[in-house]
Amino acid sequence: MFEIYKDKGGNHRFRLKAKNGENIIASQAYASRATCMKGIKSVAKHAASKNNFKAKETRGGKWSFNLVAGNNKVVATSQSYADRSSMNKGIKSVMTNAPKLKIS
């Protein structure tokens, strides 16, 4: 489920939460709720292709990923995962849940 909220600076952001309440991905800041909704729709659209997920490993050995649009702009960023296998489960969860467009 997507959750829209306002950050400390008054900007709108979204995050996609798993059924257990954990954040899977989070967005950049948007000036309005309308542009935040466009970001959510972009995630739903681009989550359909595994090619839009860019994995990265930190120096500490943790893993995360970015979801990118067709123009290679980052649409959302994942949480940090302990290993690549867990990160891949996160990607699968985004691919499954983002297209449903459930918003709270």
Task: Quote the pTM value.
Answer: 0.89
For 60-70, write each residue's pLDDT tens digit: 999 999 999 98
Give the pair of three-digit tokens for residue 97. 């849940």
- pLDDT above 90: residue 103: no
Residue 60: domain span = 2-100
What confidence tens digit (pLDDT) does each residue in 17-62 have? Answer: 988 888 999 999 999 999 999 999 999 999 999 999 999 998 899 9
Buried b vs exposed e over 18-57: b needs ≥16 C-beta within 10 Å? eeeeeebbebeebeeeeebbebbebbbebbeeeebbeeee
Number of domains forming the structure of the chain: 1
Cα–Cα distance measured from residue 99 to residue 95, given in angstroms and rounded to the nearest whole number: 7
pLDDT number for residue 95: 94
CATH number, domain containing residue 92:
2.30.29.80
Paired tokens of 17:
């939460």
